[in-house]
Structure 1
């Protein structure tokens, strides 16, 4: 008898998980549609839905106009996306960016805080905690929080190595945040989150093999292979390493242009590129040549990735993706000329928000896994 009771309980949980997933993946469904899709009886579906309504994982929809003319209207349900929220955070050298989203992935709020690259690790962590608290204000505790950061991030959420943020190497970021944020916390490499965002809502939607090139105050790569994020054997996928020499070499032309056009202003490599792009848009031929040379340097580096991986798409992201055709077209021309199977090259539409948006997507994925595990 105990075994039969256990079997019945397990079957109930499995049916509940199936119905919740149907609601999660769909829009508005009736009890009949739920029962058919989950392959259960209508009374079973109705009992499970009542439980989900009580737990606020589902909500009943209002009648549609005209329902009463057809007799008794069918009850209609959907996943209760506003029952909770998640927070995705991008931790950079110069800024912290947080996005709050409901459980359907609708972005509710975006908050940005400027920080110094020299900010001590403890203060940077405190700033992340404060930003999450502000992002969750008024909505209760978040269902999940995902933080994206530059550097090699292991499966425990520890920053194994970081060359972009001083004092960041060795920080047990996930453990530090989990002790101060009353919600499940995950930490992931920012470039992997960026390509995840592109696959979810950006230029890479519908593609399975993608190279994401981040361009800004540093360079980075994100790889999607066979529709799956590539982490690498040491979780170092996406990190280019110490860019002190190669980075300045790639940016040499735009740095030289900025110094010659406006010698009184000291700019970082990324700021020099932004300055050159702005002047190129105004028709400055010297700026156009500098930006094209910069783009060609980037393309030369991409060749070593594109030829062996054979991607369908290259997405140019980060702050410099706003250059659009000024960057994309020279990169495309070079890859067309020297690669075996040239991928399409496009500019990201997500810009500087890609990492935070990818963090939101990973938080939703984590919530789905835990939600269905708890139900089943």
Structure 2
């Protein structure tokens, strides 16, 4: 067999990567279209496609109705999304949420597990691994896992600081999980993943400058600046820090309302807000005032971010995004009054699944980098 020269071998890899990128973009294409887009000859495109078919990265599409009436149909190909799957995990104080998707990003399964904020780091890591194992599909191989967690997360996937989860500070989470999960694992801050999800499939599609406000049992922020996720000098973007003051005080109104309206039930801050939202929708005026005061406090905190960053959009996400206009409208009115260029304020349609969905996107991006790097 004739051995390819170094230059020829490199050219072949570059051409293979170019054709795979075209298929990866999601289009169904013919050999002629592939050759034209990749700027290679048709025989070269055909040879590369045959290799990708053999490796499972491409698949040939079935004939469309009517093809035979036009003579011999052109062979058509696309990326084989069912060749494998990825898993995205949201690690919170009260829950673990996983999403499993094929390689085209179609969500195939979702799992949710309740956990305790007081559980040890070792117990939480064990629960994450168990959830990943339960989320693996029988069809296709697991290609990558991405995990979103609260806390300052550095580029090595280590939780440098954590306020919301005890014993989480200093955990080398990516390394710990990589020792237990037999595929590549990446770890990122949950708020950065939430805004990534909004940019991918949520309210922030098509926007380049976005503030994502997470509302649940805690408050968090995700920033998209110039179309790119903002990590910050110390990878601390997304973390507000000690929430005993500032944003945390926003919950005071809904907590007080919940205690006065139903004193027999002990609720978390997020549960108190959800309780007040439900009562407000039922026409309870005291609940409506508590929710509006909550929204106004959130808006007041946003002003210090909106004025210097000048975003196009503010997305209200997390579990409390279900409040919809009850939160969005007071925030929009407040920003209209006190900011130079008020951004549009919208409620997320992804709700409390945004972090797990962003983790899926991160896993897919990691797979792409690995896949294309192997061809260059």
Moved more, 87-96 or 69-78: 69-78
Return the offset for 1:4.
Answer: 7.8
Does the aligned pair in 1 maintain the 2:82–2:140 contact within 8 Å? no
- CA–CA distance in 1 between the matches of 2:118 and 2:84? 35
Q: TM-score normalised to the size of structure 2?
A: 0.98
Is 1:223 the counterpart of 2:223? The answer is yes
Partner of 2:281: 281
For structure 2, the 5+ residue unaligned runs are none
Moved more, 243-252 or 277-286: 243-252
- Give the 5 Å matches for 1:49-60: 49-60=49-60
Partner of 1:147: 147
How many residue pairs get matched?
375
Two-structure CA RMSD over aligned residues (Å): 1.2
- CA–CA distance in 2 between the matches of 1:111 and 1:262? 31
Per-residue CA deviation, residues 233-255 of structure 1 (Å, 9 max, x unaligned), is 00000000011233442111111
Partner of 1:131: 131
- CA–CA distance in 1 between the matches of 2:39 and 2:145? 34
Per-residue CA deviation, residues 32-64 of structure 1 (Å, 9 max, x unaligned), is 000000000000000000000000000001111
Partner of 1:24: 24
Does the aligned pair in 2 maintain the 1:141–1:183 contact within 8 Å? no
For structure 1, the 5+ residue unaligned runs are none
- CA–CA distance in 2 between the matches of 1:319 and 1:134? 24
Partner of 1:156: 156
- CA–CA distance in 2 between the matches of 1:134 and 1:360? 16
Partner of 1:333: 333
Q: TM-score normalised to the size of structure 1?
A: 0.98
Return the offset for 1:141.
Answer: 4.3
SS at the partner of 2:5?
helix
- Give the 5 Å matches for 1:207-356: 207-356=207-356
Per-residue CA deviation, residues 155-185 of structure 1 (Å, 9 max, x unaligned), is 1100000000000000000000000000000
Moved more, 28-37 or 68-77: 68-77
Return the offset for 1:71.
Answer: 1.3
- CA–CA distance in 2 between the matches of 1:341 and 1:192? 24
- CA–CA distance in 1 between the matches of 2:312 and 2:124? 38
Is 1:36 the counterpart of 2:36? The answer is yes
Per-residue CA deviation, residues 324-348 of structure 1 (Å, 9 max, x unaligned), is 0000000000000000000000000
Per-residue CA deviation, residues 199-230 of structure 1 (Å, 9 max, x unaligned), is 00000000000000000000000000000000
Does the aligned pair in 2 maintain the 1:292–1:330 contact within 8 Å? yes
Moved more, 315-324 or 268-277: 268-277
Return the offset for 1:3.
Answer: 12
Partner of 1:189: 189
Does the aligned pair in 2 maintain the 1:141–1:182 contact within 8 Å? no
Per-residue CA deviation, residues 112-146 of structure 1 (Å, 9 max, x unaligned), is 00000001100100110011111114135411100
SS at the partner of 1:160?
strand
Per-residue CA deviation, residues 257-280 of structure 1 (Å, 9 max, x unaligned), is 111111111111111111110000
Does the aligned pair in 2 maintain the 1:158–1:174 contact within 8 Å? yes
Structure-2 change in CA distance of 1:69 and 1:4 (3 Å): closer
